[in-house]
Amino acid sequence: MSRAIWAAVSGLDNHQSWMDVIGNNIANVNTTGFKDGRYEFQDILSQSVRGAAPPAQAGIGGTNAEQIGMGTTTGSIQSDTTQGSLQQTNLPTDVAIQGQGYFILGDGNNLHYSRNGVFHIDGAGNLVSSDNGLHVMGTAGNPDGTLNVAGGLRNLTIPQTINQALNTTAVDLFGNLDSRATTPVTQDISVFDSLGQSHTVALTFTPNGTGGTGGWTVAASSPDLNNGGITVGNNALTFNSAGTLTGGGPLTLTFAGTPWNISGTGTLSNATQAATTLTLNDGAVGNLTSFALASAVSSQAAPANPAGPGNSAAFLKSFSIGADGTIRGSYANGTVKSLGQIQLSTFTNPGGLQRIGQNDFDVSSDSGQANITNPGSGSSGTVAQGSIETSNVQLADQLSGMILAERGFQANSRMITTSDEMLQDVVQMKR
């Protein structure tokens, strides 16, 4: 009977532990990104009263062992790492993961991992966890808008500084020069100097001869030009009988001296101007031709060189986070550049991660090492801006488990009282 009491005591203890796990799950039913725990029972050592015996040849059959169990203990408390549902918040700094990845957070010394994507931008422009201020880690952006992949994990920032001005270095020209023309044709293009000031450059296409010869010469000028001039390289254009460009170009504009005045004034600025290439046959945009059609020459940015058109300086207006984790900033001048990219981490055994509080996890000896990857790669999943992941606790399951835990606790306590009454009966046999 004492064995029954001790077995029932272990049942009380472990049903209380199960209730503790259920209580924690229910307490976190609305915790962002929370992963619920699942409690498993396990029996403990059994006392053998009689061992098993094999069948005797031409005799009696075998007998099973007789064992009396000694109670129960905790088998495991596992984390359920299945994804919770997504809740839309429309806050630009809220990010949810649709997949198995974890956000990578840093405190300056160590890395931690979380499914909680409630972030904010701190006073220094850092993207941090709203729960504890840990830095969100990823690939940093370069000043020119590319990603510094070789730089490894870095604290992500949303810089509030002015986007620097860029010189114009590349422009595409396309359209038609009338093969019948006998007078010059002009086309204005805009270029940005080193300070982000826009200037108009007039291109003058002059036909050679009296028309129909297929040759043109290109010159350039600007009303903002202070001294020196604009030299046009490869400026002798020729077209064949099919109207296709056969000679000359790409045009190269070289600006002599310190050329620019402040636009609309006679005041000299200290801006410089980079040499600018004008491509005449970019297949992604169009070609310059010379048919017997009205002249119509146009220009636009070169798709193969996003920084080529240049830009003025501007403040950041807004930012967005793509499904691949890339943070793109939109500036007041219309420029869009990559500010960084959120990285995710996956684990061979995510259930083996160690909970450290504040919705964060650490690597353990059984979780496997962190596999850092871009969102959308492998099983990491994509990210969704303006959403958060809710807790994956199923309240109905927890309440059902609470009933079972309560009844199991009651049954074990009744076992103790019943065993006590039986012992009392034994004691009272002698009076």
342 shares a domain with 237? no
Hey, which residues does 320 pair with through a beta bridge?
Answer: 328
192 shares a domain with 294? yes
User: Is residue 94 domain-resident?
Assistant: yes
State how far Cα 346 lies from the chain centre: 14
Per the structure, the count of domains in the chain is 3
77 shares a domain with 91? no
Per-residue pLDDT of the chain (431 residues; tens, 9 = 90+): 678 888 889 999 999 999 999 999 999 999 999 999 999 999 887 777 888 888 888 888 888 888 888 889 999 999 999 999 999 999 999 999 999 999 999 999 999 999 999 999 999 999 999 999 999 999 999 887 889 999 999 999 998 878 888 899 999 999 999 999 989 999 999 999 989 898 999 999 999 876 567 799 999 998 888 766 899 999 999 999 999 999 998 999 998 866 788 877 778 888 888 899 999 999 889 999 999 999 999 999 888 777 688 888 889 999 999 999 999 999 888 888 899 999 999 999 999 999 999 999 999 999 999 999 999 988 999 999 999 999 999 999 999 999 999 999 999 999 889 888 888 888 888 76
Domain endpoint, select from 300, 328, 361? 300
403 shares a domain with 361? no
For residue 426 the two structure tokens come to 């034994």
195: containing domain: 170-300
194 shares a domain with 285? yes
User: Is residue 197 domain-resident?
Assistant: yes
Domain endpoint, select from 270, 300, 330? 300
User: Is residue 188 domain-resident?
Assistant: yes
Q: Identify the CA nearest to 111 among candidates 373, 360, 375, 389.
A: 360
230 shares a domain with 130? no
Q: Cα–Cα distances in Å, from 99 out to 81, 118, 188?
A: 11, 17, 51
User: Is residue 307 domain-resident?
Assistant: no
Q: Tell me the C-alpha distance between 329 and 340, whole Å.
A: 9
**Residue type at 254 in one-letter notation:** T
102 shares a domain with 77? no
288 shares a domain with 242? yes
250 shares a domain with 155? no
For residue 396 the two structure tokens come to 């109905």
**Residue type at 47 in one-letter notation:** Q
Write out the DSSP string of 194-217.
TTS-EEEEEEEEEESTTSSS-EEE
User: Is residue 306 domain-resident?
Assistant: no
State how far Cα 304 lies from the chain centre: 25
Q: Identify the CA nearest to 292 among candidates 247, 217, 248, 239.
A: 239
Name the pTM for this structure: 0.76
Q: Under a CB-based contact definition with an 8 Å cutoff, are residues 5 and 420 in contact?
A: yes
175 shares a domain with 111? no
97 shares a domain with 158? yes
294 shares a domain with 245? yes
In the block, which residue shows the tokens 């931690």?
112
Domain endpoint, select from 234, 268, 300? 300
For residue 314 the two structure tokens come to 């501007």
CATH of the domain at 205: 2.60.98.20
User: Is residue 361 domain-resident?
Assistant: yes
Q: Cα–Cα distances in Å, from 161 out to 125, 303, 313, 428, 430?
A: 9, 26, 10, 89, 93
